[in-house]
Amino acid sequence: MRRLPNDSGIVELQDQKHMDADELVELCTRTEVSCPGFKKFDFFEIVDGTDDFSAKRIVGRGGFGTVYKGQLTTGVMVAIKRLDENATVFDFNSELQLASLQHINLIRLLGWCVHGKERLLVYEFMHNGSLDRIIFEKTKAALLNWHKRLQIIKGLAEGLVYMHKHSLLWIIHGDLKPNNVLLDQDMNPKIADFGSARTLSSDLEEGRTIRIVGTSGYIAPEYASRGLYSVKIDVFGFGVLALVIISGRKNIILEEQGDTVGNLVRDAWQLWSDERLHELVDPLLRDGHEIYEMVRFVQVALLCVQEDPVDRPTMSDVIAFLNFESTSLLPDPKPPSELINRDATDFNLSAYVGQLNRTVAITITGSAPLSTRVRIIVDPET
């Protein structure tokens, strides 16, 4: 991979700039012109459709806003993201990238509304909600049989290939997790919440930032520790997601032991190495899975969660791997690094948990090229 010319970690100041209403209106208006179908919605129609943003209408919370179920005057159901006052221009602009994307496995952004202090984005509504509300609930997880789980994994892979190869820019989601995968009435997956998304041009394969936003258990090691981002951070998140979908388990980072990939990743690799992968499959599936499919999908997932991004495949490779009929054609994944004591790591993490905004503020020092404060969104549900 190419690195930034000066490898300095400099970040554009507008990343942290708070949203000015006039600036956002101009931005959305320009987006309307370039993206047919994207339009402005009436604020009072949104207020009526959400019962004045009633708590009973809340269907999700993201790092930068709350999502409500709403009904337009036409009767159409929509999802409305009400951005927090702490959201920045970067967050809003990242979401707006969706307006130009059209893929069956990406959520559709329908329009916008800026009214006073309100910043609202309107999306298509997914009747089965987010993946985390199903996969981790025993009464609901049974709805996802083996075939449907594999279709969700394949759908996510297809959506990511589209993002990573779309137009002249490579779009990186940056926060893949079960909460950000929505399911339609047929359980087809839609990648959602692009508030952390970034773009890279084809002549620059890697970037660096001090504004690190991700979720514990799904964030790639090089992004969490050094702020390096590329399409390979999405490959890592996809790999963890695939293991979660197959196992029905959460991925927990063992921070005290210097862990960078999580206990689910480590367990999956050990079971694969011991040829005991049947123990990884969600017990709710019982005998409904084909052993050869399970081995292939887990092996591909393990390739995606390699600690060194150079060892991870591209998402185009992933789709090819998932379609192989024999695992003998697949490379063997390298084992995760040994767990060590926290004091033995090559960088020190000084962290505290902010209970009100559910974030962890981290200072990275030591072998990292810069010392700075970064922010990682921590979802207590995952």
| Residue 346 · residue 194 · CB < 8 Å | no
Please give the Cα distance from 117 to 314 (Å, whole number): 41
Helices (H), 248-275: 263-273
**Residue-wise DSSP of 318-376:** HHHHHH-S-GGGSPPPPPPPPP--GGGSSS-EEEEEETTTTEEEEEE-TTSS--EEEEE
- Supply angle C-alpha 237, 102, 30, rounded to 5: 105
Tell me the residue ranges of DSSP E strands in 327-378: 349-354, 359-364, 372-377
Residues of the chain below pLDDT 70: 1-19, 63, 167-168, 202-203, 341-382
Contact 173, 160 (CB under 8 A): yes
DSSP assignment string, 66-96: EEEEEE-TTS-EEEEEEE-TT-BHHHHHHHH
Cα–chain center distance at 203: 24
- Nearest one of 190, 225, 259, 216 to 378, comparing CA atoms: 216
Helix (H, G, I), strand (E, B) or coil at 257: helix
Contact status, residue 97 vs residue 171, Cβ threshold 8 Å: yes
Fold of the domain built from segment(s) 15-124: Phosphorylase Kinase; domain 1 (3.30.200)
First-to-last C-alpha distance (Å) of the chain: 31
Q: What is the pLDDT of residue 71?
A: 97
pTM: 0.83
Q: Which tokens is 134 given?
A: 């199903």
Q: Which of 144, 160, 170 is nearest to 239 (CA)?
A: 160
Q: What is the pLDDT of residue 373?
A: 33
Mean pLDDT in the chain?
A: 84
Closest CA to 235 of 219, 215, 251, 257: 219
Tokens (6 digits) for 144:
């996802």
pLDDT in tens, 121-156: 999 999 999 999 999 998 899 899 999 999 999 999
CA distances 333 to 117, 293, 302, 365, Å, are 49, 17, 6, 30
Residues of the chain with CATH 1.10.510.10: 132-377
Element (H, E) at 119: strand 118-124
Residue linked to tokens 């504004």: 211
Which of 316-333 are b and which e, b meaning 16 or more Cβ less than 10 Å from the residue's Cβ? ebbbebbeeeebeebeeb
Distance of alpha carbon 196 from alpha carbon 273, whole angstroms: 35
**Beta-carbon contacts of residue 356 (< 8 Å; ≥ 6 apart):** none
Q: Range(s) for CATH 3.30.200.20 in the chain?
A: 15-124
Q: Active site includes 175?
A: yes
Name the pairing type of β-strands 65-71 and 207-208.
unpaired
Question: Which pair of structure tokens corresponds to residue 250?
Answer: 């959460």
Residue tagged 């060892």 (tokens): 311
Three-state DSSP at 310 gives: helix
Q: How far apart (Å, rounded) are the C-alpha atoms in residues 227 and 225?
A: 6
Q: Coil, strand, or helix at residue 374?
A: strand
* Contact predicate 314/231, CB 8 Å: yes
Among residues 15, 51, 84, 175, which one is catalytic?
175
- CATH 3.30.1490.100 fits domain 132-377: no
Annotated binding site for ATP: 81
**Per-residue confidence (pLDDT) for residue 202, from 0 to 100:** 65
Q: Which residues pair with 361 in a beta bridge?
A: 352, 375
- Number of C-beta neighbours around residue 5 at 10 A: 7
Neighbours of 223 (CB within 10 A): 25
